[in-house]
Structure 1
Protein backbone atom coordinates (compact mmCIF):
# COMPACT_ATOMS: atom_id res chain seq x y z
CA UNK A 1 0.00 0.00 0.00
CA UNK A 2 1.79 3.13 -1.23
CA UNK A 3 0.20 5.44 1.34
CA UNK A 4 1.81 3.62 4.25
CA UNK A 5 4.93 2.43 2.49
CA UNK A 6 3.91 -1.23 2.14
CA UNK A 7 4.05 -3.46 -0.94
CA UNK A 8 1.52 -6.24 -1.28
CA UNK A 9 2.55 -9.07 -3.66
CA UNK A 10 -0.32 -10.62 -5.61
CA UNK A 11 -0.81 -13.49 -8.05
CA UNK A 12 -3.59 -13.36 -10.68
CA UNK A 13 -4.95 -16.18 -12.80
CA UNK A 14 -7.50 -15.45 -15.52
CA UNK A 15 -8.87 -16.74 -18.86
CA UNK A 16 -10.00 -14.47 -21.70
CA UNK A 17 -12.46 -15.54 -24.39
CA UNK A 18 -13.50 -13.57 -27.47
CA UNK A 19 -16.69 -14.16 -29.47
CA UNK A 20 -15.32 -12.51 -32.62
CA UNK A 21 -13.76 -14.50 -35.44
CA UNK A 22 -9.97 -14.47 -35.60
CA UNK A 23 -8.55 -12.24 -38.33
CA UNK A 24 -5.23 -11.58 -39.97
CA UNK A 25 -3.49 -8.24 -39.86
CA UNK A 26 -3.47 -6.56 -43.27
CA UNK A 27 -0.79 -4.18 -44.45
CA UNK A 28 -3.01 -1.57 -46.11
CA UNK A 29 -0.02 0.36 -47.40
CA UNK A 30 0.67 -2.28 -50.05
CA UNK A 31 -2.81 -3.69 -50.47
CA UNK A 32 -4.51 -3.11 -53.83
CA UNK A 33 -7.73 -1.30 -53.06
CA UNK A 34 -10.58 -1.22 -55.63
CA UNK A 35 -9.99 2.47 -56.39
CA UNK A 36 -6.30 1.82 -57.08
CA UNK A 37 -6.82 -0.49 -60.04
CA UNK A 38 -6.03 0.49 -63.64
CA UNK A 39 -8.97 2.17 -65.32
CA UNK A 40 -9.79 3.42 -68.81
CA UNK A 41 -10.56 7.09 -69.39
CA UNK A 42 -11.96 9.14 -72.26
CA UNK A 43 -11.49 12.92 -72.54
CA UNK A 44 -13.65 15.32 -74.56
CA UNK A 45 -12.62 18.96 -74.75
CA UNK A 46 -13.57 22.21 -76.46
CA UNK A 47 -11.01 25.00 -76.59
CA UNK A 48 -10.69 28.57 -77.86
CA UNK A 49 -7.67 29.49 -79.97
CA UNK A 50 -6.52 32.82 -81.39
CA UNK A 51 -3.88 33.55 -84.01
CA UNK A 52 -1.22 35.89 -82.71
CA UNK A 53 2.40 36.19 -81.63
CA UNK A 54 4.56 38.86 -80.07
CA UNK A 55 5.00 40.48 -83.50
CA UNK A 56 1.42 40.12 -84.80
CA UNK A 57 -1.87 41.74 -83.77
CA UNK A 58 -3.80 40.11 -80.95
CA UNK A 59 -7.47 40.28 -79.92
CA UNK A 60 -8.53 38.79 -83.23
CA UNK A 61 -11.30 36.25 -83.84
CA UNK A 62 -11.40 33.14 -81.69
CA UNK A 63 -11.59 29.70 -83.22
CA UNK A 64 -12.58 26.34 -81.80
CA UNK A 65 -10.18 23.54 -80.96
CA UNK A 66 -11.66 20.06 -80.62
CA UNK A 67 -9.88 17.69 -78.26
CA UNK A 68 -10.44 13.95 -77.83
CA UNK A 69 -8.25 11.54 -75.93
CA UNK A 70 -8.23 8.16 -74.24
CA UNK A 71 -5.90 6.01 -72.19
CA UNK A 72 -5.37 4.34 -68.84
CA UNK A 73 -5.06 5.79 -65.35
CA UNK A 74 -4.26 4.60 -61.86
CA UNK A 75 -4.64 6.12 -58.42
CA UNK A 76 -1.48 5.18 -56.51
CA UNK A 77 -2.34 6.91 -53.22
CA UNK A 78 -5.08 9.11 -51.76
CA UNK A 79 -3.44 12.20 -53.32
CA UNK A 80 -1.77 10.92 -56.50
CA UNK A 81 -3.21 9.70 -59.81
CA UNK A 82 -1.26 9.04 -63.01
CA UNK A 83 -2.45 8.87 -66.62
CA UNK A 84 -1.02 7.60 -69.91
CA UNK A 85 -2.88 8.27 -73.13
CA UNK A 86 -3.25 9.33 -76.74
CA UNK A 87 -5.03 12.48 -77.86
CA UNK A 88 -6.01 14.20 -81.09
CA UNK A 89 -6.62 17.93 -81.59
CA UNK A 90 -8.29 19.63 -84.52
CA UNK A 91 -7.80 23.38 -85.00
CA UNK A 92 -10.63 25.17 -86.77
CA UNK A 93 -8.36 28.21 -87.26
CA UNK A 94 -5.70 26.18 -89.08
CA UNK A 95 -8.29 24.49 -91.29
CA UNK A 96 -9.82 27.82 -92.34
CA UNK A 97 -6.37 29.28 -93.01
CA UNK A 98 -5.52 26.37 -95.32
CA UNK A 99 -8.83 26.71 -97.18
CA UNK A 100 -8.86 30.52 -97.51
CA UNK A 101 -5.21 30.71 -98.54
CA UNK A 102 -5.76 27.81 -100.95
CA UNK A 103 -2.67 26.04 -99.69
CA UNK A 104 -1.87 22.92 -101.64
CA UNK A 105 -0.64 20.83 -98.74
CA UNK A 106 -3.29 18.10 -98.60
CA UNK A 107 -6.58 17.56 -96.83
CA UNK A 108 -7.33 20.67 -94.69
CA UNK A 109 -8.91 18.65 -91.87
CA UNK A 110 -5.97 16.28 -91.51
CA UNK A 111 -3.33 18.98 -91.94
CA UNK A 112 -4.96 21.06 -89.20
CA UNK A 113 -4.97 18.13 -86.76
CA UNK A 114 -2.44 17.09 -84.15
CA UNK A 115 -1.83 13.57 -82.86
CA UNK A 116 0.26 12.89 -79.79
CA UNK A 117 0.88 10.82 -76.68
CA UNK A 118 1.02 12.13 -73.13
CA UNK A 119 1.61 11.36 -69.49
CA UNK A 120 -0.21 13.24 -66.75
CA UNK A 121 -0.39 13.58 -62.99
CA UNK A 122 -3.23 14.67 -60.75
CA UNK A 123 -2.65 16.03 -57.26
CA UNK A 124 -5.90 15.18 -55.50
CA UNK A 125 -7.43 17.17 -52.67
CA UNK A 126 -11.03 16.29 -51.87
CA UNK A 127 -13.16 16.49 -55.00
CA UNK A 128 -10.62 18.77 -56.73
CA UNK A 129 -7.39 17.94 -58.54
CA UNK A 130 -4.47 19.95 -59.87
CA UNK A 131 -3.72 18.56 -63.33
CA UNK A 132 -0.33 18.63 -65.10
CA UNK A 133 0.41 17.00 -68.46
CA UNK A 134 3.53 16.45 -70.54
CA UNK A 135 2.88 15.61 -74.19
CA UNK A 136 4.85 14.47 -77.23
CA UNK A 137 3.30 15.51 -80.57
CA UNK A 138 3.94 12.90 -83.24
CA UNK A 139 1.85 14.41 -86.04
CA UNK A 140 1.79 18.23 -86.19
CA UNK A 141 2.00 19.19 -89.88
CA UNK A 142 0.54 22.71 -89.91
CA UNK A 143 2.90 24.16 -87.33
CA UNK A 144 5.91 22.71 -89.15
CA UNK A 145 4.61 24.09 -92.44
CA UNK A 146 4.07 27.58 -90.97
CA UNK A 147 7.68 27.76 -89.78
CA UNK A 148 9.13 26.91 -93.20
CA UNK A 149 6.56 28.50 -95.57
CA UNK A 150 8.58 31.75 -95.80
CA UNK A 151 11.88 29.99 -96.29
CA UNK A 152 12.85 30.08 -92.62
CA UNK A 153 14.87 27.23 -91.17
CA UNK A 154 13.95 25.24 -88.12
CA UNK A 155 15.71 26.42 -84.98
CA UNK A 156 16.15 24.32 -81.86
CA UNK A 157 13.25 26.24 -80.30
CA UNK A 158 11.04 25.49 -83.33
CA UNK A 159 11.92 21.81 -83.15
CA UNK A 160 11.02 21.63 -79.46
CA UNK A 161 7.75 23.52 -80.00
CA UNK A 162 6.85 21.19 -82.87
CA UNK A 163 7.06 18.09 -80.67
CA UNK A 164 6.25 19.33 -77.17
CA UNK A 165 2.87 20.26 -75.72
CA UNK A 166 1.88 20.60 -72.09
CA UNK A 167 -1.26 21.29 -70.10
CA UNK A 168 -1.94 22.78 -66.69
CA UNK A 169 -5.43 22.69 -65.29
CA UNK A 170 -7.89 22.30 -62.45
CA UNK A 171 -10.40 19.44 -62.28
CA UNK A 172 -13.49 18.68 -60.23
CA UNK A 173 -14.92 15.19 -59.62
CA UNK A 174 -18.68 15.51 -60.01
CA UNK A 175 -19.17 11.76 -59.49
CA UNK A 176 -16.49 9.64 -57.84
CA UNK A 177 -16.74 5.94 -56.98
CA UNK A 178 -14.67 2.76 -57.14
CA UNK A 179 -16.27 1.80 -60.48
CA UNK A 180 -16.40 5.05 -62.45
CA UNK A 181 -15.96 8.81 -62.30
CA UNK A 182 -17.23 11.87 -64.16
CA UNK A 183 -14.85 14.83 -64.11
CA UNK A 184 -14.99 18.39 -65.42
CA UNK A 185 -12.22 20.91 -65.66
CA UNK A 186 -10.35 23.74 -67.34
CA UNK A 187 -6.93 23.39 -69.01
CA UNK A 188 -4.35 25.80 -70.36
CA UNK A 189 -2.51 24.20 -73.30
CA UNK A 190 1.00 25.45 -74.09
CA UNK A 191 3.73 24.67 -76.62
CA UNK A 192 6.88 24.84 -74.53
CA UNK A 193 6.24 28.13 -72.64
CA UNK A 194 3.92 29.72 -75.24
CA UNK A 195 0.18 29.63 -74.54
CA UNK A 196 -1.82 27.88 -77.26
CA UNK A 197 -5.45 27.72 -76.11
CA UNK A 198 -7.78 27.38 -73.12
CA UNK A 199 -10.26 24.51 -73.02
CA UNK A 200 -13.14 23.10 -71.03
CA UNK A 201 -12.86 19.35 -70.67
CA UNK A 202 -15.07 16.48 -69.54
CA UNK A 203 -13.48 13.17 -68.60
CA UNK A 204 -15.03 9.74 -68.00
CA UNK A 205 -13.32 6.92 -66.10
CA UNK A 206 -14.49 3.33 -65.92
Structure 2
Protein backbone atom coordinates (compact mmCIF):
# COMPACT_ATOMS: atom_id res chain seq x y z
CA UNK A 1 0.00 0.00 0.00
CA UNK A 2 2.78 2.45 0.87
CA UNK A 3 4.69 1.72 -2.32
CA UNK A 4 1.50 2.17 -4.34
CA UNK A 5 0.84 5.57 -2.75
CA UNK A 6 4.39 6.70 -3.53
CA UNK A 7 4.00 5.38 -7.08
CA UNK A 8 0.85 7.47 -7.57
CA UNK A 9 2.64 10.56 -6.30
CA UNK A 10 5.54 9.89 -8.66
CA UNK A 11 3.07 9.60 -11.55
CA UNK A 12 1.63 12.98 -10.68
CA UNK A 13 5.05 14.59 -10.71
CA UNK A 14 6.02 12.97 -14.01
CA UNK A 15 2.69 13.85 -15.61
CA UNK A 16 3.10 17.50 -14.72
CA UNK A 17 6.50 17.57 -16.42
CA UNK A 18 5.23 15.68 -19.47
CA UNK A 19 2.20 17.92 -19.84
CA UNK A 20 4.54 20.90 -20.15
CA UNK A 21 6.91 19.50 -22.77
CA UNK A 22 5.28 21.41 -25.61
CA UNK A 23 5.67 24.81 -23.99
CA UNK A 24 8.75 26.83 -23.14
CA UNK A 25 8.32 27.11 -19.38
CA UNK A 26 10.68 29.06 -17.15
CA UNK A 27 12.17 27.15 -14.23
CA UNK A 28 13.39 28.17 -10.81
CA UNK A 29 15.15 26.74 -7.75
CA UNK A 30 14.19 27.70 -4.22
CA UNK A 31 16.17 26.85 -1.05
CA UNK A 32 14.18 27.55 2.11
CA UNK A 33 15.01 27.56 5.83
CA UNK A 34 12.11 27.03 8.26
CA UNK A 35 11.84 27.37 12.04
CA UNK A 36 8.81 26.79 14.21
CA UNK A 37 7.11 24.60 16.75
CA UNK A 38 5.91 21.01 16.77
CA UNK A 39 2.48 21.12 18.42
CA UNK A 40 1.71 18.53 21.15
CA UNK A 41 -0.22 15.64 19.61
CA UNK A 42 -1.52 14.14 22.85
CA UNK A 43 -1.48 14.52 26.62
CA UNK A 44 2.09 14.14 27.99
CA UNK A 45 3.55 14.48 24.48
CA UNK A 46 7.37 14.71 24.64
CA UNK A 47 8.84 18.18 25.05
CA UNK A 48 10.32 19.62 21.86
CA UNK A 49 12.79 22.38 21.14
CA UNK A 50 12.59 24.64 18.11
CA UNK A 51 11.63 22.72 14.97
CA UNK A 52 13.97 23.31 12.03
CA UNK A 53 13.64 22.29 8.39
CA UNK A 54 15.37 22.72 5.06
CA UNK A 55 13.27 22.65 1.89
CA UNK A 56 14.62 22.64 -1.65
CA UNK A 57 12.06 23.20 -4.40
CA UNK A 58 12.25 22.87 -8.17
CA UNK A 59 9.43 24.70 -9.93
CA UNK A 60 8.13 26.15 -13.18
CA UNK A 61 6.26 29.39 -13.87
CA UNK A 62 3.95 28.10 -16.66
CA UNK A 63 3.95 31.57 -18.25
CA UNK A 64 4.05 30.10 -21.77
CA UNK A 65 1.56 27.35 -20.95
CA UNK A 66 -1.58 27.98 -23.03
CA UNK A 67 -3.62 25.13 -21.54
CA UNK A 68 -6.96 26.19 -20.10
CA UNK A 69 -6.09 25.47 -16.48
CA UNK A 70 -2.91 27.57 -16.59
CA UNK A 71 -4.59 30.58 -18.22
CA UNK A 72 -7.77 30.51 -16.11
CA UNK A 73 -5.83 30.12 -12.85
CA UNK A 74 -3.52 33.01 -13.78
CA UNK A 75 -0.46 30.85 -14.47
CA UNK A 76 0.17 29.15 -11.12
CA UNK A 77 3.61 27.78 -10.38
CA UNK A 78 3.97 24.00 -10.11
CA UNK A 79 6.84 21.83 -8.94
CA UNK A 80 8.38 19.44 -6.45
CA UNK A 81 9.78 20.04 -2.95
CA UNK A 82 12.30 17.89 -1.10
CA UNK A 83 12.77 18.47 2.61
CA UNK A 84 14.58 17.38 5.75
CA UNK A 85 12.70 18.18 8.97
CA UNK A 86 13.91 17.99 12.59
CA UNK A 87 10.98 18.08 15.02
CA UNK A 88 13.06 19.30 17.98
CA UNK A 89 13.39 16.03 19.91
CA UNK A 90 15.67 13.54 18.10
CA UNK A 91 15.07 10.65 20.50
CA UNK A 92 11.27 10.64 20.86
CA UNK A 93 9.93 12.52 17.82
CA UNK A 94 12.84 12.35 15.40
CA UNK A 95 13.22 13.59 11.84
CA UNK A 96 11.43 13.32 8.50
CA UNK A 97 12.42 13.23 4.86
CA UNK A 98 9.62 14.64 2.70
CA UNK A 99 8.77 14.51 -1.01
CA UNK A 100 5.94 16.85 -1.96
CA UNK A 101 4.51 18.06 -5.30
CA UNK A 102 3.06 21.56 -5.00
CA UNK A 103 1.05 24.25 -6.73
CA UNK A 104 1.42 27.95 -5.94
CA UNK A 105 -1.14 30.68 -6.66
CA UNK A 106 -0.93 34.46 -6.59
CA UNK A 107 -3.42 35.81 -4.03
CA UNK A 108 -4.73 39.25 -3.04
CA UNK A 109 -3.69 40.57 -6.47
CA UNK A 110 -6.18 43.45 -6.28
CA UNK A 111 -4.18 44.82 -3.36
CA UNK A 112 -0.62 43.58 -3.99
CA UNK A 113 1.49 41.41 -6.31
CA UNK A 114 3.62 40.19 -3.43
CA UNK A 115 1.47 37.43 -1.89
CA UNK A 116 1.47 33.76 -2.93
CA UNK A 117 -0.24 30.68 -1.50
CA UNK A 118 1.69 27.39 -1.78
CA UNK A 119 -0.13 24.08 -1.22
CA UNK A 120 1.68 20.72 -1.26
CA UNK A 121 0.52 17.13 -0.81
CA UNK A 122 2.97 14.21 -0.64
CA UNK A 123 4.65 11.66 1.60
CA UNK A 124 7.27 11.54 4.34
CA UNK A 125 9.62 8.95 5.81
CA UNK A 126 9.74 9.30 9.61
CA UNK A 127 12.66 7.73 11.49
CA UNK A 128 10.98 7.67 14.93
CA UNK A 129 7.64 6.07 15.79
CA UNK A 130 5.40 5.30 18.74
CA UNK A 131 6.37 2.22 20.73
CA UNK A 132 4.35 0.96 23.69
CA UNK A 133 7.47 0.26 25.75
CA UNK A 134 10.31 2.32 24.26
CA UNK A 135 8.43 5.47 23.15
CA UNK A 136 4.92 5.49 24.69
CA UNK A 137 4.44 9.28 24.92
CA UNK A 138 4.65 9.95 21.18
CA UNK A 139 1.22 8.88 19.95
CA UNK A 140 1.46 11.06 16.85
CA UNK A 141 3.31 8.78 14.44
CA UNK A 142 3.17 4.96 14.32
CA UNK A 143 4.40 4.16 10.79
CA UNK A 144 7.56 4.98 8.86
CA UNK A 145 5.76 6.24 5.74
CA UNK A 146 3.07 8.90 6.19
CA UNK A 147 0.95 11.34 4.24
CA UNK A 148 2.14 14.95 4.36
CA UNK A 149 0.31 18.22 3.70
CA UNK A 150 1.74 21.74 3.55
CA UNK A 151 0.08 25.16 3.24
CA UNK A 152 2.20 28.34 3.25
CA UNK A 153 1.59 32.02 2.58
CA UNK A 154 4.59 33.87 1.14
CA UNK A 155 5.40 37.56 0.91
CA UNK A 156 7.97 38.95 -1.55
CA UNK A 157 10.46 41.10 0.38
CA UNK A 158 13.15 41.88 -2.19
CA UNK A 159 12.95 41.01 -5.86
CA UNK A 160 15.08 41.53 -8.95
CA UNK A 161 15.16 39.84 -12.36
CA UNK A 162 16.85 36.64 -11.16
CA UNK A 163 16.25 36.36 -7.41
CA UNK A 164 13.19 36.82 -5.21
CA UNK A 165 13.66 36.86 -1.41
CA UNK A 166 10.53 35.81 0.49
CA UNK A 167 9.18 35.43 4.00
CA UNK A 168 6.72 32.62 4.66
CA UNK A 169 4.28 31.52 7.34
CA UNK A 170 2.42 28.24 7.34
CA UNK A 171 1.43 24.80 8.55
CA UNK A 172 2.65 21.23 7.94
CA UNK A 173 0.76 18.04 8.84
CA UNK A 174 1.91 14.39 8.86
CA UNK A 175 -0.26 11.30 9.49
CA UNK A 176 -0.65 7.73 8.23
CA UNK A 177 -4.31 7.88 7.20
CA UNK A 178 -5.53 5.46 9.89
CA UNK A 179 -3.49 2.48 8.65
CA UNK A 180 -2.08 1.94 12.16
CA UNK A 181 -2.97 3.31 15.60
CA UNK A 182 -2.35 5.48 17.52
CA UNK A 183 -2.42 8.11 14.79
CA UNK A 184 -2.80 11.53 16.38
CA UNK A 185 -0.69 13.08 13.61
CA UNK A 186 2.06 15.69 13.79
CA UNK A 187 1.10 19.34 13.28
CA UNK A 188 3.61 22.17 13.03
CA UNK A 189 3.46 25.95 12.72
CA UNK A 190 6.51 27.46 11.00
CA UNK A 191 8.01 30.64 9.58
CA UNK A 192 10.51 30.64 6.73
CA UNK A 193 13.03 32.59 4.69
CA UNK A 194 13.54 31.53 1.08
CA UNK A 195 15.11 32.67 -2.17
CA UNK A 196 13.52 31.94 -5.53
CA UNK A 197 16.41 31.75 -8.01
CA UNK A 198 15.29 31.98 -11.63
CA UNK A 199 17.13 30.17 -14.42
CA UNK A 200 16.42 33.12 -16.75
CA UNK A 201 14.88 36.60 -16.60
CA UNK A 202 11.20 36.06 -15.82
CA UNK A 203 10.28 39.72 -16.25
CA UNK A 204 11.10 39.55 -19.96
CA UNK A 205 8.45 36.85 -20.58
CA UNK A 206 4.84 37.96 -20.84
CA UNK A 207 1.92 35.49 -20.77
CA UNK A 208 0.22 35.02 -24.14
CA UNK A 209 -3.27 35.09 -22.58
CA UNK A 210 -5.04 33.39 -25.50
CA UNK A 211 -8.77 33.89 -25.90
CA UNK A 212 -10.50 30.82 -24.48
CA UNK A 213 -13.99 29.58 -25.22
CA UNK A 214 -16.48 29.03 -22.41
CA UNK A 215 -17.26 25.33 -22.21
CA UNK A 216 -19.47 23.14 -20.03
CA UNK A 217 -19.63 19.35 -20.36
CA UNK A 218 -21.69 16.75 -18.52
CA UNK A 219 -19.72 13.75 -17.26
CA UNK A 220 -20.27 10.48 -15.47
CA UNK A 221 -17.62 8.61 -13.55
CA UNK A 222 -17.26 5.33 -11.72
CA UNK A 223 -14.43 3.99 -9.61
CA UNK A 224 -13.28 0.99 -7.61
CA UNK A 225 -11.19 1.62 -4.50
CA UNK A 226 -8.95 -0.58 -2.40
CA UNK A 227 -8.21 0.90 1.00
CA UNK A 228 -6.63 -0.12 4.29
CA UNK A 229 -7.33 0.81 7.87
CA UNK A 230 -7.10 -0.51 11.40
CA UNK A 231 -9.85 -0.75 14.01
CA UNK A 232 -8.37 0.13 17.40
CA UNK A 233 -5.22 0.14 19.52
CA UNK A 234 -5.89 -3.47 20.50
CA UNK A 235 -7.03 -4.65 17.03
CA UNK A 236 -4.22 -2.92 15.18
CA UNK A 237 -3.57 -4.82 11.96
CA UNK A 238 -4.26 -3.38 8.51
CA UNK A 239 -7.27 -4.83 6.71
CA UNK A 240 -9.07 -4.02 3.48
CA UNK A 241 -11.81 -1.51 2.77
CA UNK A 242 -13.47 -1.99 -0.65
CA UNK A 243 -15.34 0.85 -2.36
CA UNK A 244 -17.45 1.27 -5.49
CA UNK A 245 -18.79 4.70 -6.39
CA UNK A 246 -20.65 6.48 -9.18
CA UNK A 247 -21.02 10.21 -9.84
CA UNK A 248 -22.42 12.64 -12.39
CA UNK A 249 -21.77 16.33 -12.84
CA UNK A 250 -20.27 19.12 -14.91
CA UNK A 251 -16.76 19.98 -16.14
CA UNK A 252 -16.45 23.76 -16.52
CA UNK A 253 -13.85 25.20 -18.90
CA UNK A 254 -11.69 22.05 -18.73
CA UNK A 255 -10.55 23.18 -15.28
CA UNK A 256 -13.32 22.96 -12.68
CA UNK A 257 -15.29 19.80 -11.99
CA UNK A 258 -18.42 19.65 -9.80
CA UNK A 259 -20.68 16.67 -9.24
CA UNK A 260 -22.48 14.34 -6.90
CA UNK A 261 -23.01 10.64 -6.49
CA UNK A 262 -23.20 7.65 -4.17
CA UNK A 263 -20.76 5.13 -2.70
CA UNK A 264 -20.87 1.63 -1.23
CA UNK A 265 -18.13 0.29 1.03
CA UNK A 266 -17.26 -2.97 2.75
CA UNK A 267 -14.94 -3.07 5.80
CA UNK A 268 -13.07 -6.32 6.42
CA UNK A 269 -12.34 -5.31 10.03
CA UNK A 270 -16.04 -4.90 10.77
CA UNK A 271 -16.87 -8.29 9.29
CA UNK A 272 -14.12 -10.10 11.21
CA UNK A 273 -15.11 -8.45 14.50
CA UNK A 274 -18.66 -9.74 14.06
CA UNK A 275 -17.69 -13.23 12.90
CA UNK A 276 -15.16 -13.60 15.72
CA UNK A 277 -17.92 -12.63 18.20
CA UNK A 278 -15.78 -10.04 19.95
CA UNK A 279 -16.86 -8.48 23.25
CA UNK A 280 -19.46 -5.94 22.11
CA UNK A 281 -21.14 -8.38 19.70
CA UNK A 282 -22.21 -10.81 22.38
CA UNK A 283 -22.92 -8.21 25.07
CA UNK A 284 -24.74 -5.47 23.11
CA UNK A 285 -25.21 -6.34 19.43
CA UNK A 286 -25.97 -10.07 19.07
CA UNK A 287 -28.29 -9.28 16.13
CA UNK A 288 -25.22 -8.36 14.04
CA UNK A 289 -24.39 -12.07 13.85
CA UNK A 290 -27.53 -12.65 11.76
CA UNK A 291 -26.01 -10.88 8.73
CA UNK A 292 -22.35 -10.04 9.29
CA UNK A 293 -21.84 -8.83 5.72
CA UNK A 294 -24.68 -6.31 5.78
CA UNK A 295 -23.55 -4.84 9.11
CA UNK A 296 -20.03 -4.46 7.68
CA UNK A 297 -21.12 -2.22 4.82
CA UNK A 298 -21.50 1.54 4.44
CA UNK A 299 -23.66 3.45 1.95
CA UNK A 300 -23.76 7.17 1.36
CA UNK A 301 -24.11 10.12 -1.00
CA UNK A 302 -21.55 12.83 -1.69
CA UNK A 303 -20.79 16.06 -3.49
CA UNK A 304 -17.44 16.52 -5.18
CA UNK A 305 -15.27 19.41 -6.36
CA UNK A 306 -12.08 18.92 -8.34
CA UNK A 307 -9.43 21.22 -9.75
CA UNK A 308 -8.18 19.81 -13.07
CA UNK A 309 -4.54 20.59 -13.89
CA UNK A 310 -3.89 18.82 -17.17
CA UNK A 311 -3.08 15.19 -16.44
CA UNK A 312 -3.92 15.41 -12.78
CA UNK A 313 -6.53 16.70 -10.38
CA UNK A 314 -6.95 17.68 -6.75
CA UNK A 315 -10.28 16.46 -5.35
CA UNK A 316 -12.39 17.13 -2.25
CA UNK A 317 -15.59 15.20 -1.47
CA UNK A 318 -18.12 15.88 1.29
CA UNK A 319 -20.76 13.26 1.97
CA UNK A 320 -23.51 11.87 4.16
CA UNK A 321 -23.42 8.33 5.48
CA UNK A 322 -26.92 6.94 5.00
CA UNK A 323 -26.05 3.54 6.45
CA UNK A 324 -23.02 2.65 8.60
CA UNK A 325 -24.31 0.50 11.47
CA UNK A 326 -20.94 -0.71 12.72
CA UNK A 327 -19.67 2.80 13.40
CA UNK A 328 -21.44 2.81 16.77
CA UNK A 329 -19.22 -0.10 17.85
CA UNK A 330 -16.12 1.55 16.40
CA UNK A 331 -16.92 4.72 18.35
CA UNK A 332 -17.50 2.86 21.62
CA UNK A 333 -14.20 0.98 21.20
CA UNK A 334 -11.92 3.78 20.01
CA UNK A 335 -13.28 6.52 22.30
CA UNK A 336 -13.39 4.34 25.41
CA UNK A 337 -10.67 3.95 28.04
CA UNK A 338 -9.11 1.43 30.40
CA UNK A 339 -10.23 2.07 34.00
CA UNK A 340 -7.92 1.77 37.02
CA UNK A 341 -9.64 -1.52 37.82
CA UNK A 342 -8.43 -2.93 34.51
CA UNK A 343 -11.91 -3.05 32.96
CA UNK A 344 -12.52 -1.33 29.64
CA UNK A 345 -15.14 1.45 29.72
CA UNK A 346 -16.87 1.89 26.36
CA UNK A 347 -17.72 5.41 25.19
CA UNK A 348 -21.27 6.76 25.18
CA UNK A 349 -23.08 7.42 21.90
CA UNK A 350 -23.30 11.19 22.31
CA UNK A 351 -24.17 14.00 19.89
CA UNK A 352 -20.59 14.21 18.62
CA UNK A 353 -20.76 10.52 17.71
CA UNK A 354 -23.92 11.19 15.69
CA UNK A 355 -22.19 14.01 13.81
CA UNK A 356 -19.12 11.92 12.96
CA UNK A 357 -21.25 8.95 11.96
CA UNK A 358 -23.16 11.14 9.52
CA UNK A 359 -20.54 13.31 7.78
CA UNK A 360 -17.86 11.80 5.55
CA UNK A 361 -15.07 13.46 3.60
CA UNK A 362 -12.42 12.50 1.08
CA UNK A 363 -9.28 14.34 -0.06
CA UNK A 364 -6.75 13.25 -2.64
CA UNK A 365 -5.02 13.49 -5.98
CA UNK A 366 -5.73 11.87 -9.35
CA UNK A 367 -3.63 11.00 -12.37
CA UNK A 368 -5.54 10.95 -15.69
CA UNK A 369 -4.29 8.87 -18.61
CA UNK A 370 -5.29 11.61 -21.10
CA UNK A 371 -4.86 15.29 -20.26
CA UNK A 372 -8.14 17.01 -19.41
CA UNK A 373 -7.15 19.91 -21.63
CA UNK A 374 -8.14 17.70 -24.60
CA UNK A 375 -11.64 17.10 -23.17
CA UNK A 376 -11.44 13.36 -23.90
CA UNK A 377 -14.75 11.54 -24.17
CA UNK A 378 -13.25 8.48 -22.47
CA UNK A 379 -10.58 8.66 -19.78
CA UNK A 380 -9.05 6.48 -17.07
CA UNK A 381 -7.57 7.65 -13.79
CA UNK A 382 -5.56 6.36 -10.86
CA UNK A 383 -5.92 8.14 -7.53
CA UNK A 384 -4.73 8.23 -3.92
CA UNK A 385 -7.07 9.53 -1.21
CA UNK A 386 -7.58 9.80 2.53
CA UNK A 387 -11.18 9.11 3.59
CA UNK A 388 -12.44 10.55 6.87
CA UNK A 389 -15.31 10.77 9.33
CA UNK A 390 -15.85 14.49 9.93
CA UNK A 391 -12.17 15.18 9.23
CA UNK A 392 -10.74 12.29 11.27
CA UNK A 393 -8.97 9.74 9.06
CA UNK A 394 -10.94 6.56 8.39
CA UNK A 395 -8.83 4.78 5.75
CA UNK A 396 -6.24 5.36 3.02
CA UNK A 397 -7.26 4.34 -0.48
CA UNK A 398 -5.99 3.73 -4.01
CA UNK A 399 -8.67 3.88 -6.74
CA UNK A 400 -8.96 3.03 -10.42
CA UNK A 401 -11.72 4.83 -12.30
CA UNK A 402 -13.33 5.65 -15.63
CA UNK A 403 -14.82 8.97 -16.79
CA UNK A 404 -17.17 9.56 -19.73
CA UNK A 405 -17.99 13.02 -21.10
CA UNK A 406 -21.11 13.68 -23.11
CA UNK A 407 -20.28 15.70 -26.20
CA UNK A 408 -22.52 18.67 -27.02
Q: TM-score, normalised by structure 2?
A: 0.40
Report if the CA contact (8 A) 2:264-2:298 is conserved: yes
Cα distance per residue 1:66-124 (max 9 Å; x no partner): 00011213201232101211100100010000000163223111101000000111111
> Aligned with 1:94: secondary structure?
helix
Unaligned runs of 5+ in 2: 1-211, 334-344
What whole-Å deviation, never above 9, does each CA across 1:137-157 have from its counterpart, x for those lacking one?
Answer: 000100124446977532221
1:183 aligned onto 2:359: no
Residues 1:70 and 2:252 are matched in the alignment: no
2:232 matches 1:47: no
User: Residue in 2 aligned with 1:17?
Assistant: none
Residues 1-206 of structure 1 aligned to structure 2 (within 5 Å): 28-29=213-214, 33=215, 36-52=216-232, 56-57=233-234, 60-101=236-277, 103=281, 104=286, 105=288, 106-147=290-331, 152-176=347-371, 177-206=375-404
Gaps of 5+ in 1: 1-26
**Which structure has more RCO (C-alpha within 8 Å, separation ≥ 6)?**
1
**8 Å CA contact 2:231, 2:330 repeated in 1:** no
> How big is the alpha-carbon RMSD for the aligned residues of Structure 1 and Structure 2?
2.3
Question: 1:193: Cα distance to partner?
Answer: 2.3
Measured after TM superposition, the shift of residue 40 of structure 1 is: 1.7
Aligned length: 172
Distance 2:311 2:257 in 1: 13
Cα pair 2:381 2:401 within 8 Å, conserved: yes
The answer to whether the 8 A contact 2:360-2:391 is kept is no
Segment drifting more, 143-152 vs 76-85: 143-152
**C-alpha distance in 2 between matches for 1:64 and 1:147:** 19
Q: What residue in structure 2 maps to residue 21 of structure 1?
A: none
Deviates more, 1:140-149 or 1:155-164: 140-149
Find the residue that maps to 1:159 and give its secondary structure: helix
Following TM superposition, by how much is the alpha carbon of 1:171 offset from its aligned partner in structure 2, in angstroms?
A: 0.4
Q: Pick closer, same or farther for the CA change 1:187–1:92 going to 2, 3 Å.
A: same
Indicate the SS of the match to 2:349.
Answer: coil
The TM-score with structure 1 as length reference comes to 0.76
